[in-house]
Amino acid sequence: MAGVVGLREVRYGYEGQNHLKAGKDQSNPYFTFDASKCIVCSRCVRACEQVQGTFALTIQGRGFDSKVASGPTNFLESECVSCGACVQACPTATLTEKTIIDHGQPEHSVVTTCAYCGVGCSFIAELQGNQVVRMSPYKDGKANHGHSCVKGRFAWGYATHKDRITKPMIRAKITDPWREVTWDEAINYAAGEFKRIQAKYGRDSIGGITSSRCTNEETYLVQKMIRAAFGNNNVDTCARVCHSPTGYGLKSTFGTSAGTQDFDSVDATDVIMVIGANPTDAHPVFASHMKRRLREGARLIIVDPRRIDLVKSPHVQADYHLPLLPGANVAVINAFAHVIVTEGLVDEQFVRERCDLEAFEHWRKFIAEERNSPEATEAASGVPAADLRAAARLYATGGNAAIYYGLGVTEHSQGSTMVMGMANLAMATGNLGKRGVGVNPLRGQNNVQGACDMGSFPHEFSGYRHVSDDSARKLFEEAWHVPLQNEPGLRISNMLDAACEGTFKGIYIEGEDIVQSDPNTQHVTSGMTAMECVVVQDLFLNETASYAHVFFPGSSFLEKDGTFTNAERRISRVRKAIPPMAGLEDWQITMALSAALGYPMPYQHPSEIMDEIARLTPTFAGVSFDKIDELGSIQWPCNAKAPEGTPVMHIGGFVRGKGNFMITEFVPTEERTTGKFPLILTTGRILTQYNVGAQTARTENNVWHPEDILDIHPWDAENRGIREGDRVSLTSRAGQTTLHARISERMQPGVVYTTFHHGFTGANVVTTEFEDWATGCPEYKVTAVEVTLARKMSEWQEHYLETRKQTTQILTGAAGD
């Protein structure tokens, strides 16, 4: 501000003691710390403590020698998580974004929504012309209240990265070089191929995949095109391979397929139970909110095979950490319920008034059986019975209790059973229908909830209505002016199976890299190779594009209008900040392809698509762009009964009427350790990277996590002659890869862990085809493996390097026309 008003001279001169020669810390890739400009106001220190909860900053020294310090080291090597709270709080130029130093102050701004995790943070995209120079967390954002994490705050450079493909491309065979063409030629070629395939192999020989990274409007259009233009229900989404058990389990018990609370509800929680989730890494802004509540006195139960950060971190320590064995979730939740039922801790009044009593009595009798006791399940679960009993008593008697869970619950062969088990537990203790309680899925990607809501499953229209429901189907037929199939279509895994069998020949994939993200990579690539027309719509030439015949360049969240729906059912606006680099937004590409197939969808703006969604989807009946702009965001259901949305679900009654207790038999996974594969691999995320790395791996976040690492317990490492940093071979019955080892007591003996963010690792080369019994969600979290010292890189890694070489040639113009 001094610079803006022209104050450049210091009228008192520079004589006497000062800090002008203090060093500048430029170690962090995103911001600098210029100590000579620091006034030691402590705002950054308080932001790190009170907002973020990391306690990475402190004031060193006394009097004139006082200074802000990131511990005994620089910012990069300190405990700083680069959330940006200190930068946001700094009133001088001491902490400054490097983009502002390089480009200067922004001229205008647009409020939009982050395209990373399911927290759905609101940001102000600040620009000079069409160049984004800063992303600032929006203080009025109802999901984040002005806070952010390193990904949303700083890792947006991928949107204009040099690897972006901005021209449509086609090729007759996947061994041919790509050829750049016009949009019209690419659209007509793809449509012609799909028509040819259907004429030759039948209507059901093609399908498509929607994306949890695209907007609600784009996702809705893809499933509409598949049902109306393709003429089948062969549509699926990445949301099914992560959180479909959430939908199935919560709909079976409560009557609706979504979490019960808003994030702010945690402020009224007395006991927080985190199951199979790592919020500080995967949902860091909500984790900061949660940690504030824990510092205020809330109690904490962690159910996780690993010692995640929340088990013990500054001013936060779990009352109980139950380190269960991967695959034993249902045994643990049944034991929790057993304690509550047999020790008289059931909220009898809540059950009597709110739940189906016949179902409850049937469940009570089942859960009280000795085989469900903590002592009987201890061998299978690995959780000491005494600890489990104490944790169960705390959950039942400690006040308002809330369950927060992640993919460590859903990505199991009993994922749906576990979700029903958590719902049973919450109903039995009366922890539903008010603030501070509930069963709350922490969605992994920015629009997982929205992709499910929009009808991306082969068996459901938008709003979770089955395709066999005559009244629902008739509603869509009348609106879309086309007959629709009443039988579910193929899931992704079914499409790949059919492709290998020769009956499925074409696929349209928007915003997904299934070769990297789906299990059993070798099976995925076999299916992709067998298809005659693969159309990929994405920002970059990903691994799936290696098997594509048509490539449509997509648009990032900065280049489009629409909405995302976060983990708390909050619908927020995505607003265009810059023009689409490829000329078209994703919804326009899908619309053009549908028209070329003979089914025009003449929308002029995404707001018109949302208007149609609202007309056809009861839970969205009151949603519109105008209302979202007026209110800031809306949580569905939004209708005549709740015109401004519904922050907390099931107040006064469940959506289905009476809560439904479900029997949850523990059935051990078929994936077992053997003499050949004696260890269990489980996977997860890390703070600085996101999913398969398509976005974050093209940013400076690689400074913190340049490769996937295998965590292994010292006992297992010692037995295999493995030392810190050794490159090891990770082998399962499905495949093999190599990566560096890290000796870690966060693991328990017999369990190893890695992330899946880097394509070179190819973690899903080793995961198997086992899946949830109800939804087909893959069992990523339990894979029997062996770890040995590696002699060379794996076949997958050799393939990966070759495809990267080809991609580099394409991007530099050395290949194709």
3-state secondary structure of 337: helix
Cis check for the bond before 606: say yes or no (omega within 30 of 0): no
Q: What is the pLDDT of residue 714?
A: 97
pLDDT tens-digit series, residues 172-224: 999 999 999 999 999 999 999 999 999 999 999 999 999 999 999 999 999 99
Q: Which residues contact 490 (CB under 8 A, 6 or more apart)?
A: 204, 207, 234, 236, 458, 498, 504
Phi, psi of 428, deg, nearest 5: -65, -30
How many residues make up the chain in this entry? 817
Q: What is the pLDDT of residue 444?
A: 81
Residue among 741, 732, 736, 740 nearest 779 (CA): 732
3-state secondary structure of 738: strand
For residues 399 and 270, the answer to whether their CB atoms sit within 8 Å is: yes
DSSP code string of 769-788:
S-B-TTT--B-TT-EEEEEE
Phi, psi of 639, deg, nearest 5: -155, -165
CA 390, CA 381: separation in Å to the nearest integer?
A: 16
Query: Helix 240-253 to helix 415-428 angle, to the nearest 10 degrees?
Result: 40
Q: Which amino acid does the sequence have at 495?
A: M
Question: Which portions of the chain are predicted below pLDDT 70?
Answer: 813-817
CA 131, CA 631: separation in Å to the nearest integer?
A: 28
CA angle 651, 652, 655 (to 5 degrees): 75
Q: Which residues contact 27 (CB under 8 A, 6 or more apart)?
A: 74, 75, 76, 77
Q: What is the pLDDT of residue 654?
A: 92
Tokens 């709003």 belong to: 463
Q: What is the pLDDT of residue 520?
A: 84
70-76 long-range contacts, CB within 8 A, separation 24+:
70/25, 70/33, 74/25, 74/27, 74/28, 75/25, 75/27, 75/28, 75/31, 75/33, 76/27, 76/28, 76/29, 76/703
Q: How far is CA 470 from the centre of its chain?
A: 34
CA angle 646, 647, 652 (to 5 degrees): 70
Kind and range of the H or E element at 250? helix 240-253
Q: What is the pLDDT of residue 137?
A: 96
Provide the 10 A C-beta neighbour count for residue 363: 23
For residues 271 and 299, the answer to whether their CB atoms sit within 8 Å is: yes
Structure-token pair, residue 477? 């037929």
Q: Which sign does the torsion angle of CA 495, 497, 498, 500 carry?
A: positive
Provide the 10 A C-beta neighbour count for residue 140: 12
Q: How far is CA 135 from the centre of its chain?
A: 20
Q: How far is CA 663 from the centre of its chain?
A: 29
Q: What is the pLDDT of residue 815?
A: 43
3-state secondary structure of 525: helix
Q: What is the pLDDT of residue 1?
A: 77
Q: Which sign does the torsion angle of CA 251, 254, 259, 262 carry?
A: positive
CA 18, CA 36: separation in Å to the nearest integer?
A: 8
Q: What is the pLDDT of residue 728?
A: 96
3-state secondary structure of 125: strand
pLDDT tens-digit series, residues 393-449: 999 999 999 999 998 999 889 999 999 999 999 999 999 999 999 999 998 888 999
Alpha-carbon distance values, 86 to 9, 123, 217 (Å): 27, 16, 36
**Buried/exposed 746-782: b ≥16 CB within 10 Å, e otherwise:** bbbebbbbbbbbbbbbbbbbbbbebbbbbbbbbbbbb
Q: What is the pLDDT of residue 817?
A: 39
3-state secondary structure of 217: helix
Q: Could you tell me which residues are beta bridge partners of residue 786? A: 731
Alpha-carbon distance values, 674 to 671, 679, 785, 789 (Å): 10, 8, 9, 19
Q: What is the pLDDT of residue 331?
A: 97
Q: What is the pLDDT of residue 113?
A: 97
CA 773, CA 589: separation in Å to the nearest integer?
A: 36
Strands 122-128 and 108-113: antiparallel
Q: Which amino acid does the sequence have at 666?
A: F
Q: Could you tell me which residues are beta bridge partners of residue 729? A: 738, 788
CA 288, CA 144: separation in Å to the nearest integer?
A: 10
* DSSP E strand boundaries for 196-255: 206-210, 235-237
Q: How far is CA 619 from the centre of its chain?
A: 23
Residue among 222, 191, 235 nearest 587 (CA): 222
